[in-house]
Structure 1
Amino acid sequence: MNAALIIILIIAVIVAIFSGLNAALHWLLWVALVVAVIALIAFLFRVISGRNRT
């Protein structure tokens, strides 16, 4: 599950970069930031909880 969260975070960063290049799609920057924050919170929650599912 951690790999999926990292992939979501990478996609959010890519969307943030591309939305920064195009002023007409400025709202995508906020969407990307929200998705990145959610992915980061979920990742930190899994790390702090210490559950290891293999």
Structure 2
Amino acid sequence: MLYWALIFLIVALVAGLLGFGGIASASAGIAQILFFVFLVLFLVAVVLRIMRGRAP
């Protein structure tokens, strides 16, 4: 998921440099959503790992 967020960020940067504002804005929005979804899933996994404790 983080990989796709980086891809959309790169697409947004390239589109912004070339003057395609609409595509850049949409790609940046998608990248932001994917990053926050990744962040939430990562934090949930960390919390579950902490709650689970060490494996015997």
Corresponding position: 1:13 with 2:9 = yes
Q: Which has the larger radius of gyration?
A: 2
Compute the RMSD of aligned alpha carbons.
Answer: 1.7
Question: Which consecutive residues of structure 1, in runs of 5 or more, have no partner in the other structure?
Answer: none
- Whole-angstrom CA distance in 2 between matches of 1:17 and 1:37: 13
Q: CA deviation at 1:30?
A: 0.8
Amino acid at match of 1:13: L
Partner of residue 29, structure 2: 34
Query: How many residue pairs are counted as aligned between the two chains?
Result: 47
Deviation string, structure 1 residues 10-35 (Cα, Å, up to 9, x no partner): 21111112111222x21111111111
TM-score (norm 2): 0.67
